[in-house]
Structure 1
Amino acid sequence: MRARRRAVACALLTLASTNAALAAASPAACHGTIYLTFDTGSQSQAEFIAGVLRKHAIRATFFLANEKTVRGDWSLDPSWAPFWKRLAAEGHAFGAHTFDHVYWQRDLADGKMVVKPQFGAQAGRKLTWDARQYCDELKLVDARFAELTGRHLDPLFRAPGGHTSPNVLAAARACGYAHVGWAKAGFSGDETPSETYPNAMLLKRALDNLKDGDIFMAHLGIWSRKDPWAPADLEPLIEGLEQKGFCFATIPQHPAYK
């Protein structure tokens, strides 16, 4: 009888310890949530970033355009299918970044706009688009992503440079896409010159200023930055935010996008 009581007590203690561990790991134990997002770019840091997120069991949101990569191919070529498939299988979220990384220039009458693609057959040219053409540009990303991964994008988009307008937002809304910007403190600075904005400065700025609900933005590689941001800052940023009690989630879990 005494041995049985000891066994029961031991089992209850184990259960209590397990429940405590689960509670500590649950979102309810977080003091806030940060939403990590990554735009395509040169893709030089793509595998590194994916590995860090995997190591920390963090799900992020990726915004995809068909950009030229350091491999000499394009980020939405079939050669990148294994990369995107694995991220999709791991539970990350995905949005459009316009297929040819199309920058908005200015609004015109009747919902039209002047835009300038960075890549593709019309690269560098100023074009006049209507709302349907802008929607088609977003849907093209979705169609290619579905070909590569077997799943569709989430109903989200991010305009290159974050540059939007009433006409851009209305066009995207008409085909079901909500725009996702980023918090002021969420600008990683990975596009800036590393000589002027060293990684240590960018890391401190983010850790000092990010707050609950903030959306953080970085790229999967930037051609121009000499000292890449991600290898120096991504893991210290995650660990620093975790030490402050922050958890991480994808944009579809953000209160503004549910």
Structure 2
Amino acid sequence: MRIYVLSRQKLLLGLLFLFTVGGILAITQFTLTTPSLVRTPGTYYMANTPEKVVALTFDDGPDPIDTPDILDILKEKEVRATFFVLGKAAQSNPDLLKRLVKEGHEIGNHGFNHDYQQRHLVKEMNQTDQAVYAATGYHTYFYRPPGGFVSKTQLETTNRNGHVVALWSVDSKDWRNPGVKQIVDNVVKNVFPGSIILMHDGGYQRSQTVKSLGPIIDALRARGYRLATLSELKTLDSETK
């Protein structure tokens, strides 16, 4: 058996290498798991406009408990939003889809099973679109990939399928359930003209989202912001004119 003796210099170099590799891996993992920090070319994540207009968007619904509460608040505040629905939830809650359309909201496509890898991208988009059309008579236009993850190939595939990939520029981080005040702060402190705001009305228990929604709307309006659907926001985008 051989015994290897490391010098102090070699030991320090070895530790430095490990820390460097570990740091790179940590940064890579952080980037991959926080897509809200990534502005993917070719996607729609904000409008280029000086007007103080923003879009509220909700993912993972419709949910029979939390979605009605969110709709009640939006109705009371006279706000129209965009809901990225999961096909599986849409099939189970067609009446909520009908209510969304009746009250002037926009329905986006979030896939069928919330598959982060999107292994059956076109199939899931079409299944969700069919569920929305069966309930409302409308087709989906915007597609939001689960988790916000999208490769160049998936982006091209989505475009060929007649959808626009819509991400976001302000993350409420309500999916962390950090507390109502923190959710409000995450939006209000980071908002800017043309922002697309990410929130959730399904997936898990969303009572914090429900409680934060009214204060968020009030705070945005107090700062001079108007709230619109994604399609309305896109008409203001200087790059699309």
Would the TM-score normalized by the shorter structure come out above 0.5?
yes
Report sequence identity in percent.
Answer: 27
What residue in structure 1 maps to residue 60 of structure 2? 40
Per-residue deviation at 1:81? 1.7
Superposition pairs of residues 93-112 of structure 1, within 5 angstroms? 93-104=106-117
- Is the 2:57–2:81 contact (alpha carbons within 8 Å) kept by the matching residues of 1? yes
Deviations 1:46-91 (A, max 9, x none): 1110111111111111111135xxxxxxx2235x222111211222
- Is the 1:191–1:224 contact (alpha carbons within 8 Å) kept by the matching residues of 2? no
What residue in structure 1 maps to residue 197 of structure 2? 216
Q: Unaligned 5+ residue runs, structure 1?
A: 1-29, 68-74, 105-114, 116-128
Greater displacement, 169-178 / 35-44: 35-44
Number of residues paired by the alignment?
187
Deviations 1:192-222 (A, max 9, x none): 1x4xx22212212321221110001111134
Per-residue deviation at 1:134? 2.1
What residue in structure 2 maps to residue 83 of structure 1? 96
What residue in structure 2 maps to residue 109 of structure 1? none
What residue in structure 1 maps to residue 232 of structure 2? 253
Per-residue deviation at 1:191? 1.1
Deviations 1:150-188 (A, max 9, x none): 2222x11000000111011011011111111111xx211
Superposition pairs of residues 156-167 of structure 1, within 5 angstroms? 156-167=142-153
What residue in structure 2 maps to residue 122 of structure 1? none
Deviations 1:17-65 (A, max 9, x none): xxxxxxxxxxxxx960110001124823111101111111111111111
What residue in structure 2 maps to residue 17 of structure 1? none
Q: Does 1:203 align with 2:184?
A: yes
TM-score normalised over the length of structure 2: 0.71
Shift in alpha-carbon separation, 1:95–1:221, aligned structure 2, 3 A: closer
- Is the 1:32–1:247 contact (alpha carbons within 8 Å) kept by the matching residues of 2? yes
- Is the 2:86–2:109 contact (alpha carbons within 8 Å) kept by the matching residues of 1? yes
Shift in alpha-carbon separation, 1:213–1:150, aligned structure 2, 3 A: same
Superposition pairs of residues 136-175 of structure 1, within 5 angstroms? 136-153=123-140, 155-175=141-161
- Is the 1:157–1:178 contact (alpha carbons within 8 Å) kept by the matching residues of 2? yes
What residue in structure 1 maps to residue 87 of structure 2? 66
Shift in alpha-carbon separation, 1:134–1:77, aligned structure 2, 3 A: closer
Counterpart Cα distance in 1 of 2:51 and 2:125:
35
What residue in structure 1 maps to residue 73 of structure 2? 52
Amino acid at match of 2:114: H
Amino acid at match of 2:190: N
> What is the DSSP-based 3-state SS (H/G/I as helix, E as strand, rest coil) of the residue aligned with 1:91?
coil
- Is the 2:84–2:107 contact (alpha carbons within 8 Å) kept by the matching residues of 1? yes
Counterpart Cα distance in 2 of 1:88 and 1:46:
13
Alignment match of 1:190 (pick from 153, 157, 174): 174
> What is the DSSP-based 3-state SS (H/G/I as helix, E as strand, rest coil) of the residue aligned with 1:223?
coil
TM-score normalised over the length of structure 1: 0.67
